[in-house]
Structure 1
Amino acid sequence: MSSKLKEPAADLLKILQKWAGGSVRFEKHPKVKGRLNVVLDRPDKGNCLSGAMMCELGRGVEHLESREHGVVVLSGKGSSFCTGADLGLIKDISDASLGGPMFDFMSSVLQKLNVSPAISVAHIRGHCLGGATEICSAVDIRVAHVDSKIGFLQSRLGIIPSWGGAYYLEAILGRSKALHVMSSASVLSAEDAFKLGWLDFVYREEAEAEQYINGMCRTDPGLTQAQKEMLNAVKHSHEAQKEVLNRVWKSSIHKKALEKQLAAEIPNRKVKRPPLVMRWDLVERRAAKSFAALGRLITDHPVPFLVFPVLFTAAMGVGMLHLNSLTDAVYLFTPVGAQSKMERLAVHEKWPLTSDNYIPGRAVTQSREIQVTALAKNDGNILETRYAEAVYRLDKFIQTRIRILHDGRYYGYKDLCLQYKGGGCSSSKHVHILSDFYNHGFNITYPYFRFGTEGGYLGSSLGGVSLMKNENGTEILASAHAWFMVYHLKFHPEELSYISGQWENEMVRQLRDYPEDPYISITYFHSQTLADELKRNADTLIPRFVVAFTLLVVFSMACSMSFIDKTFYIDWVLSKPILSILGVISAGMAILTGIGSLALLGMPYNDIVGVMPFLVVAVGTDNMFLMVSAVRRTSRTLPAKERMSECLSDAAVSILITSSTDVLSFGVGTITTIPAVQIFCIYTGVSIFFTFIYQITFFSACLAVYTKFEEQGRNSAFVVATVNESKKDSVSLISRLFNLGSAPKSKAAHDIKEPATARFFGEWYAPVLMNPIVRALAMIWFVIYLVFAGYGCSKIKEGLEPVNLLVQDSYAIPHYRLLEKYFWKYGAQLQIVVNNAPDFREPSTRDRIHAMVGDFATSRHAIGLESVDFWLFDMERYYMDQLQMPVIDTAFYGLLGHFLASKHNNPLAEDLYWGKDENGTDVVESFRFVIGMRDIVTTMEQTDATLSFREIASRWPEYNVTTFMPLWLFTDQYVLIIPNTVQNIIIALMVMILIALVLIPQPMCSIWVALACASIDFGVVGYMTLWGVNLDAISMITIIMSIGFSVDYSAHITYGYVVSTADTPSDRVRDALSALGWPLFQGALSTIIAVIVLADIPAYMMVTFFKTVVLAISLGLLHGLVFLPVLLSLFVRGCCIMTVDHDKKEKSREVYVIEKGMRISDVSSSTGYETGSSVTTSSPIGSAPRFEFVDDSPIVHNRSRSVIKSPEHID
């Protein structure tokens, strides 16, 4: 099933033989039967392949079909595996243009290695670079030491994988990952390559690798080869598979193995049929047990858990000094691998912009580009002399008056401008000429103006144009309102680009101070404007975060306060204001650690990440509320260790669920193609992860310390002994105000003091919500909610316009608005590149080119044929009108050369890319032309224009047509934003279901969690549209966030409902809301407090973030407190409810001996439950106490349900 190896071509073989050195050794393993070692032996050169080694490898793989070995292990001698091919050899092959023959030879070597009957293994130690990655991609299994480095570096040499390895790489990684790996040319660690899926096994000790590899040698080599052949046969045919199968079945290997198995004794096993409804509580149960143990450990040894997180935060905080900030808005907010970027590259590869070939209107990059517009005041005509003179003065000021000092030298525009053929800087002198023509009565055609044999395109320079017809019926220019000027500076080398950037900034300063002109108003924009404005956005966040942090501290402190019963005096034992401050600080530490650690790892940062702390500090505060609430639900009579054990077993599992869903939802966000979203999601996900880690370490240690203070009756603020509440009337006012505290009422009682908020949700809110009329109204409300959300989704407007990246008082906003009004409506130019030019000597070919140009020029977003700037049209016009001679077909290229020579310094020559045909004749290999566009003002119009022109290009596949204008970079974002968002939502929902299945004991819960999440996300998208928010990169971040946050609300309530042991749906809703209603409300309120400071920032990005976060939190809370409880009470019964096995006695977590003579009512009143009533759930993870008699002694168990049916008094 494998073809014969292709021998290297004669010319190639000479070069390969010339480059000697090293060897490839094929050796049987001395101890392991069936293993063949292939060793690359050139350690002094990092085992880089010489020509001789390539030939040896080729000869060697011819013999891999031997039946003696089942496993072939490829490795390198010394500290490297292989660093690719010798660069000198590569240069010789390149110089001789033998890349094709080299591909034929080496690809056949890799193919033989890939399809050989033996299992092929690459054992990588050290560096595996360049061509070595291609060899390794061709083998079956890749094993690497943890310190190895993997580098797909071909693109750094300006080449592509040249040995056929790209085929195998795509088979391993898939197309998108393979393309990313090849194009990024990055060096991966072994762990990164393993995560990517390229490596199959990563080891630390050599023995681990040997054990892994030798494990494949245990079977007979013939059988091993047959297994490999069967997989190879899948690639070929059914018959090929059958051939291998027949050979194996008839072999002695199969018979012996079968006899051995038949002789073995196989015990009968009784298989239990699983129940219809499963409880998947394995993970939850083990997590709860682990966290319970952690709680006890932290209480006994709090110091390490306090000190280490602080030290680690300080260490990671150093990374804040090394932030690698990305400011390129085009890169950050446009999709990676977008078609427009490929289109830009196609133009740039053939017509790179240099300092000597600049043509206005042909540039494909806005690097170091300055745009200036002049608008005639009082609705004037910019072509009239006084207005034209004002434009001329402005242009002269820019070119001559703006200068900067750098290294002792002054630089002006003429020192930095891009030019064409040394012809000087591009300027707006033609405004003077055009004005003279206009004011002297010349008929000026539009958009293309011709004067004799010369002319130029005016559509992109003049805005607000009015036309009229002359006596011949030809449309001519009547008036115009605006003039558009472009100043393009040098951006290479780097030092010159820096100087150009400084000149841009100086231009902004001087134009800001430019004396007000009575005739024109000016707007301007330059290549750094978007980056500068993003930084301005970020700079406004720091003081706002300080305010948000302070508000959260105040809110947390207020929520932590408790009062002595029936008084307004603060209970300083139960109140924990300092602990609340530490909880918010814990979230701040997580933010610092997350940003710092990623910065140290080299992760790029962008200014939009500046809004992340507002979210993360809110998440941390939410978690703090859950922890404090959990410890409040434990008995004060228990030792602090047991209270912390219970607290973490309950709250930490709950926080684990929510943190997992938050982190994974942001993890899903990283698969989007917009870098700004990817970076934000990485920083936020990592920070939330550290929030969880610090919550169960640093804050848990703080909570343990304060629980000990509570156990000792100490003042939580001043850490002194408090005055008992019973003595409040006999102490001073100061003591009553600042040092009064409560104590447990009975050591036999489960002394839990429920806050009034919990009683409100359990005793007042839940019964009202469960009223049949209220439930009906809630369902109607839910339907109305879905209808309006659907209406909003139907009106969605996608895409982040560049203007929305600016602060509202930015100097660039008037510029964008003027472009929309005057220049994008009519006149902007589109470059069209024909990459595969036809033979223009054929008349029929030229006719087809005319037809293609006509297709573009007459489309709905094109101005028409009169806007086309095309060298072929000018050439034909030159010969037909000026020389009055036809274009001779056979002499076409010679005539073309004559035409271009006659137009000295005519930029049309730059629209041609020359090559040679098979006869050595100079021919046009590629070319471009330009057309004028219309109606590309709105994002919808821009998207339609992009797709329309690309569709026209696809009609001419033989020419490989590319269309491009800089605006396309953003329109691709408009096109991809909806698919990206839908993809993220679907994947995130699937991940959320999986998390719910793993961490919530009832699988049916996951269905309701997913439905609630989908409903919340549906509402966020719909209502944000109705609130004036586009679906763009900013709102996408919040939609991703809302997926995780919606799980927080839905999972808690759903889980609290199904684990409740109450008998009726209404009671289960009461249990869930009693335990969770107030913590959920606190969490939502804290998040809104954190982001409300963003509401009045005069920037679209910040206001959008505020609106979408408020929507996500509000709708999540609405579902958690209203819609979901009602839906659960109506539709979740029977199979989805956890049942209690009353016959099974559980091991209790708390046992309280009821002493002889004690009345059951004494116990029940202390626990908050009445004799004869059901004891109900008080926590989403955990249940209330259970009363039971064991050996005639009554005890109280926690985490189960029972009904008290016993005598009123125990004798």
Structure 2
Amino acid sequence: MSQHRGRYSTFDVYFISLFFRWGLIVHKLRWILFISPFLLTAFLAFGFVWIRELTTNDPQFVFSPDDAYWRFERGVLSEHWPLDEQRFWPGKSYDYNGYVDVIAAGLPDKELGRPNMLLSRYLNELDRINQYIIYNLTVSVEHEGLSYEVGFTDLCMSYDWKCYLNDHLTMLQPKHKWGTFNADIADFAKSIIETEVKITYPIGWRGTEPIYFGALVGGVHLTDADGHFDYVKAVRLTYNVRDGQVGNVSKVWRKKVAEYLTNKNVRASDVLEFGMYHNESLYEGLKDVADELNPKFALTSTILFIFCVGCSIVLLSDEKKRKLVGIDWVRSKPILGLAALICPMMAVISAFGLLLWLGVIYNEIVNVSPFIVLSVGLDDAFIMTASWHRTNPQLSVARRLAEALAEAAVSITITSVTDMLTFGIGCYTTLPGVRLFCMYTFWGITFTYLYQITYFAAVMAFAGEMEDKGKHALFGIKTLKMEQAETPLKKYLFSGSVCRQEENESKALESEESGLKRRADKQTDKSVRFDDVTLYGSDPKISSEVKSKSLGEKERGSMKGMIKKFLKSMESAQHEWDEKFDSHHCKETFVNRLFREVYGPFLLTTRTQLYILFFYAVYATGAIYGLTQVKEGLNPRNLVRNSFYLADFYELIDETFWEEGLQMQVVVNNAPDLFAPSQRQQIGEMISAFENTPYTMRHNATMIWLDAFEAKLRSDWEEFNITLPETSAQWYQRCQEWLLTAGGRRLWELDMVWERNETNPTDSRVKAFRFQVGLRNYKTPTDHTNSCKLMRDIAEHYRQFNVTTFHEYYPFADQYLELKPALYRNCILALLCMMFVSFVMIPNLAAAFVITAAIVSIDIGVLGYMSLWGINLESVSMITIIMSIGFSVDLSAHITYAFVKSEGTNNEKAIAALETLGWPVFLGAFSTVVGISVLIFVDATIVNIFVKTVLLVITFSLLHGIVFLPLLLIVALPRLDVECCKVINGPKKSEMRKRENSNGENKAYK
């Protein structure tokens, strides 16, 4: 046995030894280890004091990479045109603080669709709403003991002290309604209106001042090539209020507008519906989702509690009659079901509290993390509980706990460490939302592992003591023997199996003889006991041999010897009769027999294997096809609940302005000499390049001052015979003069940055300018991404002008652009880490590669079928894919480790692995499904995406773990030396059946 031990003393063996000793320590210090996690959790919970100040409500920060290029692009605009609340012009803004965007449309008809908003009925109603918001909708403000009513005109951004009042509503009315004039000037006024005002799409004119109707009306039907229209689906209103000193008041006013327009109970209008967006709408929508999730967590906890308690019940069966006769309240462990739930809950509080103590930012996206931590924690709890039930009830409690922890050590450590690594790697992604989620989940899983080997193990010790004394698992009283339970009620509420103490007293002689026989057989036993690798094992020969080495004369006085002696003093002493019994009991459960006698042999038949091979081929084909259909991007509408008002806004903008009409800012940072014809030609080519793409409107939708100025020069020459500029200085001088008199001077001067010559003011020039290009086909996240890439490529092509582009959806596009590279980086790094951990914990190189192959297969399946299910690759699905790596390792590693450590032929190993861990693996997967099932009832697409991807992860992981993987292991792993491999589920089955309840009055089934 010593030669085998030397040959197979791999890391997992020493790890098992460590946990065996830890089990003895836990038993002795169970009260301390039970209370300490509660005290630590209570201390760390004080971190929640800072949750409000650490909460970020900026979706652009959460869903966009740290180094996203849009931050630079917006910075360019901010540098050239800093926000001036007294010189504000709608359409020129790039900063949406204080911005309120309202889209109004008529209530749709089921057959005819949406009505024409140009009809007086709808325009008049919209004008009434607009007037009410501007002049009547106010908020109360207390100042120096006095109360004031503050409205839009008090808070608005302005140009030359005049608010923007949505004047285009008047322009859309029939022209005879524009004003009331006396007869003397009626004809004159009508003539001016007819000749000077042009209501055309996408650009109209008020004299020489252009008005961009593309952003004001949507779903337009044109009647001629000049842009006249007779139908619009929606009309847009904007309200821009100041930030700064009145920011808090503006915030309250915006919320009041939102409440007025989106109240479902008291509608603002009987004929119109509204979609509204302001700078905090997306944050409010995410918070609304989080508020919906919080009660669901309580429901999840309740369901899982019932599930865990139900799984902990052990039933009594009459062996002769082959039927259930009651509940074994001695071996049942409902207290472990409760502890299994409390453990991850404490871990979540500790993790959140610690990170808040450390000043880590909090966002509602991390509120899904507790569901993951809960699922991982329950998975390990099932493994530990199953290990306890496989230990021999005739052993002392301390020894049983040591054996249970030693058996579960590798499985629960692989589960936790791989999940820690998976989410730990996610902490280094450039996407803040993913990073925050992974950080909170990483610490949640870390604390779960710590609490499981302390708090949960201590509860196992207490539960073991109750079982050892034959006490009721719920009431703590002495249970009744089956023959003492006179009524069915007593059988199901108060009965229990014979406890160890009573059984040992009544069968002392038989136990002694049985123990002597087992000790005589140990030299031929094919399994390596935990004692063989435990420093202070209880096998007499090995124990004395190890003790002589570890506590020899040379070492006894050394520091190492003192440490060992101290650790020995921390352990519970093992009882002398522990050596008379095997470490694992010989009783079988229903699920053991199901996996060993039914499922295992069925799985290994040739016909079944052929069917599975065909099924896997279909699975792989579908997954690979799905990979070719993957789409990136998350529609902003999917970030909020379907019942939240922002969903209506995105629905309306999708029908209208995403089709056509939005504007993109284009900045020329290094303006050339615009007088030079060759330079103007290059500028014209650049403008044409931007206009002639699938995502941009043509030149008639471009707002650029250069066209207006050149038109003015031609008009002066043709009408007034004013010569054209002959030098660059004259050209720029005429441009400055034009800005003083042009009808659109307020508009155009906000697009130009002048380089002033202080010594010679007439020698000034334009050093930078911008223009706006109309957008179209901007409906999907893919369109946003492709458009962003194309616009940046065009800008890069004209690098001599140092061109910068920007649109308000660029932050989302940058997220989409980063998703695939970040996913590839994280997955490859995670796979390497998983392979390393698997190889360290499972002493077989081929097994580590098999686990890696299973991970790759599962991830390909998740990603492929995710796309076929209509789920795009975005932050939420990326989090789940990262999570799937850890989950797939969990289930695969359990089965693989059991296979490697089992004895016999490869077929016998596969059956033994399924018999040992098939049921705990199934329970762990099923508990995860139960845990997230309540999220199905949350009417938020972002949550539904999470649920769907988790279901795919769990389904494919379980499918691989108990169907594909056993067959792969049979083929991929060579037959191990049966003399050197420990049977993790106890003694050989032939011996089990010989020793199985010789007088068997009762038999326990789980």
**Structures share fold, TM-score greater than 0.5:** yes
Find the counterpart in structure 2 of residue 982 from structure 1. 824
Find the counterpart in structure 2 of residue 766 from structure 1. 600
* CA positional deviation for 1:756: 1.1
Q: AA paired with 2:837?
A: I
Distance 1:481 1:698 in 2: 63
2:692 paired with 1:858: yes
2:175 paired with 1:341: no
Find the counterpart in structure 1 of residue 995 from structure 2. 1166
Of the candidates 784, 789, 795, which is equivalent to residue 623 of structure 2? 789
Asked whether the equivalents of residues 329 and 493 of structure 2 are also in contact (C-alpha less than 8 Å), the reply is no
Find the counterpart in structure 2 of residue 370 from structure 1. 100
Distance 2:20 2:990 in 1: 31
Find the counterpart in structure 2 of residue 1020 from structure 1. 862
Cα 1:613–1:1022, aligned 2, differ >3 Å: closer, same or farther?
A: same
Find the counterpart in structure 2 of residue 913 from structure 1. 753
* CA positional deviation for 1:515: 5.6
Find the counterpart in structure 2 of residue 44 from structure 1. none
* CA positional deviation for 1:500: 0.9
Asked whether the equivalents of residues 557 and 577 of structure 1 are also in contact (C-alpha less than 8 Å), the reply is yes
Correspondence list, 1:533-552, <5 A: 533-552=285-304
Asked whether the equivalents of residues 856 and 949 of structure 1 are also in contact (C-alpha less than 8 Å), the reply is yes
Distance 2:727 2:931 in 1: 74
Distance 2:986 2:433 in 1: 55
SS in 1 for 2:836: helix
Of the candidates 124, 127, 132, which is equivalent to residue 389 of structure 1? 124
Cα 1:1133–1:810, aligned 2, differ >3 Å: closer, same or farther?
A: same
2:41 paired with 1:316: no
Find the counterpart in structure 2 of residue 305 from structure 1. 33
Worse-superposed segment, 650-659 or 1086-1095 = 650-659
Of the candidates 124, 129, 135, which is equivalent to residue 400 of structure 1? 135
Distance 1:355 1:393 in 2: 27
Distance 1:453 1:735 in 2: 95
* CA positional deviation for 1:639: 1.6
Find the counterpart in structure 1 of residue 528 from structure 2. none
Distance 1:966 1:454 in 2: 25
Find the counterpart in structure 2 of residue 615 from structure 1. 372
1 or 2, which has the higher helix percentage? 2
Cα 1:1115–1:919, aligned 2, differ >3 Å: closer, same or farther?
A: farther
Distance 1:280 1:887 in 2: 93
Find the counterpart in structure 2 of residue 1122 from structure 1. 963
CA deviation vs aligned residue, 1:79-128 (integer Å, no higher than 9, x gap): xxxxxxxxxxxxxxxxxxxxxxxxxxxxxxxxxxxxxxxxxxxxxxxxxx
* CA positional deviation for 1:831: 0.5
CA deviation vs aligned residue, 1:146-188 (integer Å, no higher than 9, x gap): xxxxxxxxxxxxxxxxxxxxxxxxxxxxxxxxxxxxxxxxxxx
Distance 2:839 2:733 in 1: 74
Distance 1:1002 1:793 in 2: 32
SS in 2 for 1:371: strand
SS in 2 for 1:629: helix
Q: AA paired with 2:62?
A: L
2:575 paired with 1:837: no
Find the counterpart in structure 1 of residue 220 from structure 2. 465
Asked whether the equivalents of residues 1059 and 1138 of structure 1 are also in contact (C-alpha less than 8 Å), the reply is no
Asked whether the equivalents of residues 914 and 924 of structure 1 are also in contact (C-alpha less than 8 Å), the reply is yes
* CA positional deviation for 1:1149: 12
Worse-superposed segment, 1011-1020 or 473-482 = 473-482
2:258 paired with 1:508: yes
Distance 2:991 2:13 in 1: 32
Find the counterpart in structure 1 of residue 789 from structure 2. 947
Correspondence list, 1:997-1016, <5 A: 997-1016=839-858
Find the counterpart in structure 2 of residue 204 from structure 1. none
Cα 1:753–1:604, aligned 2, differ >3 Å: closer, same or farther?
A: farther
Distance 2:885 2:374 in 1: 18
* CA positional deviation for 1:483: 1.1
Worse-superposed segment, 328-337 or 1088-1097 = 328-337
* CA positional deviation for 1:1140: 3.7
* CA positional deviation for 1:1081: 0.4
SS in 1 for 2:459: helix
SS in 2 for 1:913: strand
Q: AA paired with 1:337?
A: D
CA deviation vs aligned residue, 1:242-273 (integer Å, no higher than 9, x gap): xxxxxxxxxxxxxxxxxxxxxxxxxxxxxxxx
Distance 2:984 2:223 in 1: 92
Structure 1 residue ranges without an equivalent (≥5) = 1-274, 1153-1159, 1170-1211
Distance 1:395 1:889 in 2: 49
The aligned length equals: 872
Asked whether the equivalents of residues 633 and 816 of structure 2 are also in contact (C-alpha less than 8 Å), the reply is yes
Correspondence list, 1:342-741, <5 A: 342-376=72-106, 379-407=114-142, 408-422=147-161, 424-437=162-175, 444-469=199-224, 474-493=226-245, 496-512=246-262, 517=269, 520-566=272-318, 567-725=324-482, 727-728=483-484, 734=490, 737-741=493-497
Correspondence list, 1:748-897, <5 A: 748=515, 749-750=581-582, 751-882=585-716, 884=718, 885-890=723-728, 891-897=730-736
Distance 2:986 2:216 in 1: 86
Distance 1:1149 1:793 in 2: 39
* CA positional deviation for 1:732: 8.9
Distance 1:363 1:1149 in 2: 68
Of the candidates 883, 894, 913, which is equivalent to residue 1041 of structure 1? 883
* CA positional deviation for 1:686: 0.3
SS in 1 for 2:275: strand
Q: AA paired with 2:442?
A: G
Distance 1:1019 1:280 in 2: 36
CA deviation vs aligned residue, 1:66-89 (integer Å, no higher than 9, x gap): xxxxxxxxxxxxxxxxxxxxxxxx
Distance 2:339 2:391 in 1: 21
Worse-superposed segment, 916-925 or 280-289 = 916-925
SS in 2 for 1:637: coil
Distance 2:847 2:243 in 1: 58
Distance 1:634 1:485 in 2: 72
SS in 1 for 2:755: strand
Cα 1:887–1:938, aligned 2, differ >3 Å: closer, same or farther?
A: farther
CA deviation vs aligned residue, 1:1025-1070 (integer Å, no higher than 9, x gap): 22232221111111111110000011111222222221x2211100
Normalised to the residue count of structure 1, the TM-score between the two structures is: 0.69
Distance 2:55 2:272 in 1: 38
* CA positional deviation for 1:437: 4.6
Q: AA paired with 1:284?
A: D
Distance 1:367 1:1104 in 2: 30
Distance 2:803 2:978 in 1: 67
Q: AA paired with 2:769?
A: F
Asked whether the equivalents of residues 208 and 742 of structure 2 are also in contact (C-alpha less than 8 Å), the reply is no
Higher relative contact order (CA 8 A, sep 6+): 2
* CA positional deviation for 1:509: 1.9
Of the candidates 912, 923, 929, which is equivalent to residue 1088 of structure 1? 929
Of the candidates 903, 910, 918, which is equivalent to residue 1077 of structure 1? 918
Q: AA paired with 1:898?
A: E
SS in 2 for 1:723: coil
Distance 1:740 1:286 in 2: 37
* CA positional deviation for 1:438: 9.4
Asked whether the equivalents of residues 459 and 826 of structure 1 are also in contact (C-alpha less than 8 Å), the reply is yes
Cα 1:823–1:1149, aligned 2, differ >3 Å: closer, same or farther?
A: closer
SS in 1 for 2:647: helix
Once the two structures are aligned, what percentage of the paired residues are identical?
A: 33
Cα 1:1039–1:433, aligned 2, differ >3 Å: closer, same or farther?
A: same
Q: AA paired with 2:725?
A: V
Asked whether the equivalents of residues 327 and 491 of structure 2 are also in contact (C-alpha less than 8 Å), the reply is no
* CA positional deviation for 1:718: 2.1
Find the counterpart in structure 1 of residue 56 from structure 2. 326
SS in 2 for 1:931: strand
Cα 1:357–1:1167, aligned 2, differ >3 Å: closer, same or farther?
A: farther
Cα 1:656–1:877, aligned 2, differ >3 Å: closer, same or farther?
A: same
Correspondence list, 1:32-47, <5 A: none
Distance 2:283 2:492 in 1: 57
CA deviation vs aligned residue, 1:937-985 (integer Å, no higher than 9, x gap): 1222222211111111111011111111101111222222222222221
- Please, what is the CA RMSD of the aligned residues? 2.7
* CA positional deviation for 1:404: 0.6
